[in-house]
Structure 1
Amino acid sequence: MNKYFGSAYQFGTLGGILSVIAFGILAWMEPDPTNLNLIFGYVITPISIFLALKFFKDYSNNGFISFAEGMSVGFVTYCLIAIISGLGIWIILLSFPELFEEIKSSKLEVLGSSKDTIISQVGEDSYQSTLKNVQSMVPFDIGLNDAIWKIIPGLFFTIIISIILRKNPN
């Protein structure tokens, strides 16, 4: 099993740790680091997946990788990124409750300033539901949201990278 997932463990862990570090740095620079951290995730996730698949292909599988192997290694990689990043962000927000309150107030401010636009696009009920959800938000919600937004693009990038790197023995 280590043959298949050794590189996934390494690059998934590295990607998750880099994502948590990026959140910490962005929190120091911005009042609401969540949006910029999502963008960072769109960069680090495909890089981590590519490196995990490339290292698996070149160093563990004699230069070959099937689509199924690519999907398996990629799945483990982006899930590790998501788990480590989500847990790390959750722990940071539990450790620094004032940061969480800043993020929450920033999201409420954006909702308030965009109220008319949001209501015209999705209706009053959707706006009120979103407002209620943001008001009842807890630190775990932010960590979970970050993890989900690592998994969804991770699947997409894994499919593409697995197809590009695929090379089966003849």
Structure 2
Amino acid sequence: MSKYFTSAYRFGILGGALSVVSFIVLSLIYGDATNLNLVFGYVITPISIFIAIKIFKEYANAGYLSFAEGMSVGFVCYMVLASISCAGIWLTLMFWPDLFQEIKTSKLDVLSNNKDSIVSQLGVESYDMTLKSLSNLSQWDIGFNDAIWKIIPGLFFTIIISIILRKNPN
């Protein structure tokens, strides 16, 4: 079983660590780096999945890859990546409360600046519910949101990459 997941763990850990590092670096530059880190995640997630599946196919599976094997390796890779990213961002914000407050303030400012547009499109109830939700924002919410936005594209990319790299023995 470890032959299936060695490359997945390795590249999931690497991708998760790069995601946490990018969050910290982008936070030093921009303050609220949550949106930019999501964009970075859209780049690092498929790269990590592709390399993990490719390494598994070439070095652990004699050049063959079934769709199920690709999906399994990709799943482990993006779940490890998302878990490390979530934990790293959560811990960063726990130890750096000023950054968390800056992110929260930034999100509340964006909401208040777009109040008229939100109310006209979605109604006052939706705006009030969003305001209440943002007021109760925690460090965990930011880390968990980042993880979700690595898992959803991770599943999509895993399906595509598994189909592209699939090669069954004759």
- TM-score range normalised by the length of the shorter chain: over 0.9
Code of the residue aligned with 1:51 in structure 2: it is I
Shift of 1:123: 1.2
Equivalent position of 2:143 in the other structure: 143
Give the letter for the 2:52 counterpart: A
Q: Distance in 2 between matches of 1:130 and 1:60?
A: 48
2:2 is matched with: 2
Q: Map Cα deviations across residues 132-167 of structure 1 (whole Å, 9 max, x no partner).
A: 000010100000000000000000000000000000
1:26-73 deviations in Å (ceiling 9; x for gaps): 000012000000000000000000000000000000000000000000
**For structure 1, which segment, 68-77 or 115-124, has the greater mean C-alpha deviation from structure 2 after superposition?**
115-124
**Higher mean displacement: 128-137 or 115-124:** 115-124
> What's the RMSD between the two structures over aligned residues?
0.4
Provide the TM-score with structure 2 as the length reference: 0.99
Paired position in structure 2 for 1:20? 20
Q: Paired residue for 1:103?
A: 103
- CA deviations on 1:63-102 (whole Å, 9 max, x unpaired) are 0000000000000000001000000000000000000000
CA distance in 2, matches of 1:167, 1:157: 17
* TM-score, length of structure 1 as denominator length: 0.99
Number of paired residues? 170
- Stretches of 4+ moved more than 2 A in 1? none
Equivalent-residue separation in structure 2 for 1:120 and 1:149 (angstroms): 28
- The 5-angstrom pairing of residues 20-169 of structure 1 reads 20-169=20-169
> What stretches of structure 1 of length at least 5 have no aligned partner?
none
Kindly provide the amino acid, as one letter, of the partner of residue 151 in structure 1: I
Please tell me the residue identity of whatever aligns with 2:66.
S
* Whole-Å separation in 2 of the counterparts to 1:86 and 1:121: 32
Q: Distance in 2 between matches of 1:70 and 1:120?
A: 46
User: How far, CA to CA, are the matches of 1:151 and 1:31 in structure 2?
Assistant: 24
